[in-house]
Amino acid sequence: MKTAAAALLLMAALSTTGAASVQAAARQSNTGQGFGKQYVSLNNWARANEFTIRWIERDKTLQCSNPRARLVFNVDPRQDLRKAQINGVVVWLAFPLVLQNGNAFISQVDLEQTLAPVLSPPANRPGIKIKTVCLDPGHGGSDPGEVSGGNVEKKYTLLLAQEVRDQLTRAGLKVCMTRTTDATVKVQARPEIARQHNADLFVSMHFNCSEQARNEVKGVEVYCCTPAGATSRNAGGEGDTRWVKGNQYNEKNMLLAYQVQESILKSLAVEDRGVKRARFLVLSEAAMPAILIEGGFLSHPAEGRKIADPAYRRQMARAIVEGILNYQRIVKG
C-alpha cells in the first residue's frame, strides 16, 4: 500500500510527460513488489502505435485494438493490475499498471518485453535455424513432484515429453531430453544437458497441484523467465529482482511462451491461467529461449483424470508441438 501511494505521488509529479521514474518507490518497497523504472501513458502509447483505446467496462477494463491485435487490460485496483490479454490469451504483466486520475500507465519493461515480442516478434538472423529442441520432463526418480491420489507428476511429465518428442521428430526437428526414464536428474543439470546438445529451445513440462482443500483449481499456464528488475509471479512474494542468464532471451522466451499457451488454448478446452514469469532455475539458467509448461492440475478431479488419459496427453502434445512450430515460423525472419 505504501509503495502504491508513493508511486502514485511520483506519477502525479511527472505525468505531464507521460513517463515517470518510480524507481524510488521500488527501492522503498520492502514487500518485493517494485514498480520498475519507467511508466508510459497507455493512451499515448496506443495513439502512437495506431491502437484505438476504449473502455470495455468503465474504470474496470480497457481495450486497445487495431485490425491486427486486441489488447485488454484490467484497471480495476480490486483485481490484479498485472492481468492483461493479448488476442484473447491471458498474459501477466511484469509490473502492475499504475492508475492516476482515470488514466492508466504501463511499464516500459512490459511494452518492450511483454507486448512487443508478441505484437512485433523478434526474428532470427538469416541462416539461423531452430534444429534441436530440448525437452525436460519435470522431476523423476527420487523426486516424484506433485502427488495427488494415485497421480504422480513425474510419471505424466515423462509420458507427455515422450509424446512431444515423437511428434517433434516426425515434424523434422531433433530432440534431446533431460531424462528418458524414471531417473533422478538434478535441476541444475537440466539446462546444462540442453547446452551440451546445442539445443535451440528448452521446454520443461510439469503438472500442478492445488494446496487448497477444495480441488477446484484447474487450467494451464506457461512460464518464461522474469525480466530483470521485476519480481516473479510465483514463490509467495519472491523479492528477487536480479538479472539472470535467461534474460538474454527475454523477447524470444515471451514469444515462445505465448505461442505454446495460445496453441494449447486453441485445441484443448482448458482454463487459461496465462503466460507468467518466474525465475525457476531451468528458466533462469537456460542458454537458449526457454519455457516451463504447467499442463494442468492433478488435484482437480476432472483435469487429473484427463492428464492420466493417453489420448488427452497426445492432444496436448500436438498443441505444444504446434506452438513450437508456430514460433519457428515466426522467428524464421
Residues that bind Zn ion (CB under 5 A): 138, 145, 206
148: CB partners within 8 A, 6+ apart: 209, 215, 298, 299, 304
How far, in Å, CA of 268 to CA of 286, rounded?
A: 28
In whole angstroms, the minimum distance from the beta carbon of 153 to Zn ion comes to 5
Long-range contacts (CB closer than 8 Å, 24 or more residues apart) made by 227-230: 227/94, 227/109, 227/113, 227/277, 229/26, 229/34, 229/36, 229/37, 229/94, 229/109, 230/34, 230/36, 230/94, 230/95, 230/109, 230/277
Residue 248 DSSP label:
G
Query: Which of 138, 227 has the CB closer to Zn ion?
Result: 138
In whole angstroms, the minimum distance from the beta carbon of 110 to Zn ion comes to 27
CA angle 42/244/6 to nearest 5° reads 40
Provide the CA 128 distance to its chain's centre, in angstroms. Answer: 24
Which of 45, 109, 100 shows the shortest CA–CA distance to 71? Answer: 45
Query: Which of 83, 206 has the CB closer to Zn ion?
Result: 206
Query: Which of 86, 225 has the CB closer to Zn ion?
Result: 225
Number of C-beta neighbours around residue 249 at 10 A? 22
Are 176 and 197 within 8 A, CB to CB? yes
How far, in Å, CA of 154 to CA of 137, rounded?
A: 7
In whole angstroms, the minimum distance from the beta carbon of 248 to Zn ion comes to 24
Query: Which of 206, 233 has the CB closer to Zn ion?
Result: 206
In whole angstroms, the minimum distance from the beta carbon of 115 to Zn ion comes to 29
In whole angstroms, the minimum distance from the beta carbon of 145 to Zn ion comes to 4
In whole angstroms, the minimum distance from the beta carbon of 183 to Zn ion comes to 16
Query: Which of 41, 157 has the CB closer to Zn ion?
Result: 157
Query: Which of 140, 274 has the CB closer to Zn ion?
Result: 140
Query: Which of 145, 274 has the CB closer to Zn ion?
Result: 145
Query: Which of 82, 155 has the CB closer to Zn ion?
Result: 155
In whole angstroms, the minimum distance from the beta carbon of 137 to Zn ion comes to 10
The C-alpha cell that represents 29 in the structure block? 518497497
Which of 10, 255, 223, 228 shows the shortest CA–CA distance to 124? Answer: 255
Question: By three-state DSSP, how is residue 183 classified?
Answer: coil
Are 85 and 92 within 8 A, CB to CB? no
Closest residue to Zn ion, based on beta-carbon distance: 206
In whole angstroms, the minimum distance from the beta carbon of 192 to Zn ion comes to 19
How far, in Å, CA of 289 to CA of 115, rounded?
A: 17
In whole angstroms, the minimum distance from the beta carbon of 187 to Zn ion comes to 10
Query: Which of 153, 322 has the CB closer to Zn ion?
Result: 153
Helix (H) or strand (E) holding 85: strand 83-86
E strand map for 179-234 = 201-208, 220-225
